[in-house]
Every structure is written in C-alpha cells, then in structure tokens.
Structure 1
C-alpha cells in the first residue's frame, strides 16, 4: 500500500499534469471498488474545472470548481495513468510496463479532460475508492475527521507524543500505524523509523524513554523527507511523474532484510522477521531494545 511519500509524489505529479483542466465527461467502467462509485459522478463533474489537488495522510483530495470535493484512496494497487493530447501515456503511480491491453483490463474510471487528454484510475485489486462530496459538506467526511497530525507537521512533536502515549499499553509499532495518532505512516516506514531509532517494534509505549520518543520523531521526519525526495518507494517499484522509478527501497535499513546482516556496521546479528498484528515486522535484537 502506498504510504505518505508515495501519495505525495502522486499528488505533485497530478498537479503538474491536470491542474486547472476541465472534466468533459467521466466513464465508469467498473463501479465495484472498495466503495461503489456513484453513478451520477459523470453528470456532476461534467464541465467543471479541477481547481486544486491536495494530500491528507494517504488520501488525494481534488477540489472541483466550487462545487465538489473528490476523495481518492489508492488502496493496495490503485494508480493513475495520464494520456496527453498526443496519446502518449504517462505513469504517475506504481512502476508498471505500459501495456495498453493489460492495463485496460484494470481501468476502472476514466476522466476525459479538455484538449483531448485522459486521466485513468486503474486498480488491479480494487481496494481503492473514489468518493464525491458537496464542497459545503466536507466537514462530514469521516475518512478525514479522525486523522491525527502528519509526521512532517509541527504538531508531531515531543509534547503531543508523550501526552498521547501516557499509560497506554499498546506496542510502539501498532500505535505508529494508528492513523488517529499520526497519519500517513504505514508498515514499511514504521519498520525503518524504529530501526534507526533503536526501538524494538514490540515495546510497550508507556515504557519508552524520552530520548527514544525524540529519536522516533526525528527519524520519522528524516526518512519521509528523504523518500519524497527520491520519488517514493514500494515493493512494486514506485514511479514518479517523469517515469523514473522510486529508489528509496534501495536505502532500506531493515525492511525486507530477513536473515541478512544488520545494516549497522558494528553489528554482526541477522535481521529477524516476525509478525505484529498480521503485518511483516523486521528488527535487530541487538540494535533495537
């Protein structure tokens, strides 16, 4: 599943390609995504301009004219393809070979734009979704209402962290992946953050030392900024707006390194893989306490 850096790169890519475009019509090829795509979406969006594209946590937020807000979540395999006026196809999401026949099988929603361009939402496993809201009713969007601060925001600080975890008995990995506590982090980056912070994923949060909390906050910001700069990462090879493959996965210190030597130069231990809440979890028993 794409996490904050990957969705941020998609947002930036889409802003370059479709901001201020007019939606001419919408073709729904498959209504059955995670939530059923509204049949009237085409009538509601036809003739309207895409005024802004934002990101909140792992959600993409499109402001359409002064009428609607379109909320998109990419799920596990959701991605956008852009086709320009010369019918050239661009990747803005995961890295896949551009194969029209193969891709067409999983095209779910097509937005026809002015100047003979198209934006295609493609989703193999159909865990993503597209929802439309009236702009004056956006305060009722449940997907956004309960999100915690983002790791790159100033609100994600020691005081907030310390107050939130007081007397809680949950482990640190689970709480970092709880979008109500901090929004945008997922399994890959949490593994990386905890390794660099020297904290074992199974540690109970109320037992964390102040210095460990400070390290978690520090490395959250460093890792996410680094990943965004490098174009995002994913096991499926993320692709940024210019078609370059995301390369942050080449810098993984712990994720996916089961039985390999620990990345720390002075450690000879091997990386251990376990499961926490049914999610693959990697750690070094010497370097993470």
Structure 2
C-alpha cells in the first residue's frame, strides 16, 4: 500500500491538470461521474494515504489500497475504476476507492508530517493521552495519529531513533519521543526524492534486510498488527 511520501509523488505527477476542466469522467467504480464532469480541478492535495481532488464545491478522495495505480494518457488492458478526461489528456486510475465530500472536509494537517502545518507537540500529546500503554511499533501504523505512515517508514524510523518497536509509549523518555517525531518528519520528506529516483526500498537500513553493519536484522511478525517487523536488537532499546 502506498505510504504518504508516495502519494505526494503521485500528486506531483497529477497537479499539471490543476485549473483544467473535466470534459468527461468515468470508470466502473465511479458513482460521481455526472457530478465531476464539467467541473474544474482546482487543486490536487494529499493527506496521509489519500489523494485529494478539489473541484471547489466537491472533494473527491482517492485511496489506492494494496493494488491501486494510475496512468496518464495511457490505458491498461483492464478497465479503469476511475477516470478523468481533460480534452485530449486523461488520467486512468486502477483498483482505487473514491469517496465524495460535499464540503471541504477539514483534515487535521497539524498531525500530518508532510504538511507545512505539522505540529509535533500535538502528536506527542495525542500519543500520551490516548495510546500511553500501547507499543510504539503498533501505534505508528494508526492513521488517526500518524496519517500516511506505513510499514517501511515504521521500521526505518524506529531503527534510526534506536527504539525497539515493543517499547511502551509512556515508558519512552519524552526527549526520545521528541527525537522520534523529528526523525519521522525528516525521513518522510526525504523519502519523496528517493521514491522519484526509484531507490527508496533498496536504500533502506533494515526494511527487508538481513543485516546492518555486520549485525543481524531480526525479522518477525508483530502479534497485534500482523506486520513484518525488522529490528537490530543490539541497537534498538526496549523501554
């Protein structure tokens, strides 16, 4: 499933259609085709794992799930689930889920690490108030706290901050939590360029790796969230 930085890369590819009118909308999983047709695409934004298409009085959210993708001015052999035509140009989305919001929904950009409005103190407060007794490795995949974070970012930032994923949130020193949040922000932003260069996964430190600097990377499946976890036991401390 695409993580937040990948959705930003998608946005950068699609935003060239901003300001253009939709001459036709279609797709087998698009109940809003008539409403979208004739409207101008005001802006393309992102929130977590969602692509946001703003048609002024109509907001369409696009979620790519596990297998979603899109092509610009190209077709796959299968039918598009959602499509937008701008005269001779078009975007075909495949295996995506779309939703409609009548009024511009106020996504909380203050907890979105890829937003200029991000406030790490708000995330830290949320962690301690609602998830204090949870394991940090589990909470990192909670989209209500960390929109856009997926398993790659989860594993990498915990390693970079030297925190074991089984650490309980309220036992991690405040200074260490602050450091983790800063690493999440910086890693997420840096990932955008690596994704564009198609070297994001291959440049990882521990994700799907067997060793790091001659030390074993232990792989296991986290019991509650059922996600593959990669840990360097001698580096990452359990709190």
Q: TM-score, normalised by structure 1?
A: 0.74
Does residue 218 (structure 1) correspond to residue 182 (structure 2)? The answer is: yes
In structure 2, the residue corresponding to 1:250 is in which secondary structure?
Answer: coil
Summarize the alignment of residues 105-144 of structure 1 with structure 2, pairs less than 5 Å apart. Answer: 105-114=78-87, 116-123=88-95, 128-134=96-102, 137-139=103-105, 144=107
CA RMSD of aligned residues (A): 2.2
The CA deviation at 1:44 is 1.2
The CA deviation at 1:212 is 1.8
The CA deviation at 1:54 is 0.7
Q: Given the alignment, which residue of 73, 77, 82 partners 2:72?
A: 82
Q: Given the alignment, which residue of 222, 226, 230 partners 1:282?
A: 230
Which position in structure 2 is the counterpart of 1:62? Answer: 53
More moved, 270-279 vs 209-218 = 209-218
Which position in structure 2 is the counterpart of 1:44? Answer: 35
CA contact (8 A) 2:58 2:101 kept: yes
The CA deviation at 1:105 is 1.4
Distance 2:4 2:128 in 1: 22
CA contact (8 A) 1:71 1:130 kept: yes
Residues 90-129 of structure 1 show CA distances to partners (whole Å, capped at 9, x for unaligned) of xxxxxxxxxx5xx221522222222x11110112xxxx31
The CA deviation at 1:218 is 2.1
Alignment gaps of 5+ in structure 1: 32-36, 84-88, 90-99, 233-239
Aligned residues: 233
Change beyond 3 A, Cα 1:198–1:157? same
Q: TM-score, normalised by structure 2?
A: 0.88
Does residue 269 (structure 1) correspond to residue 215 (structure 2)? The answer is: yes
Which position in structure 2 is the counterpart of 1:235? Answer: none
Summarize the alignment of residues 1-289 of structure 1 with structure 2, pairs less than 5 Å apart. Answer: 1-16=1-16, 18-28=17-27, 30-31=28-29, 37-38=30-31, 41-64=32-55, 66-83=56-73, 89=74, 103-114=76-87, 116-123=88-95, 128-134=96-102, 137-139=103-105, 144=107, 149-153=111-115, 155-158=118-121, 160-162=123-125, 164-165=127-128, 168-230=132-194, 232=195, 240=196, 245-257=197-209, 260-262=210-212, 265=213, 268-276=214-222, 277-289=225-237
Which position in structure 2 is the counterpart of 1:34? Answer: none
Distance 1:42 1:163 in 2: 38
Residues 26-63 of structure 1 show CA distances to partners (whole Å, capped at 9, x for unaligned) of 222x33xxxxx32xx22212221111111111111111
Distance 1:148 1:169 in 2: 23
In structure 2, the residue corresponding to 1:12 is in which secondary structure?
Answer: helix
The CA deviation at 1:130 is 1.1
The CA deviation at 1:155 is 4.3
The CA deviation at 1:210 is 2.4
Residues 215-255 of structure 1 show CA distances to partners (whole Å, capped at 9, x for unaligned) of 2112112211211122x2xxxxxxx4xxxx52122210010
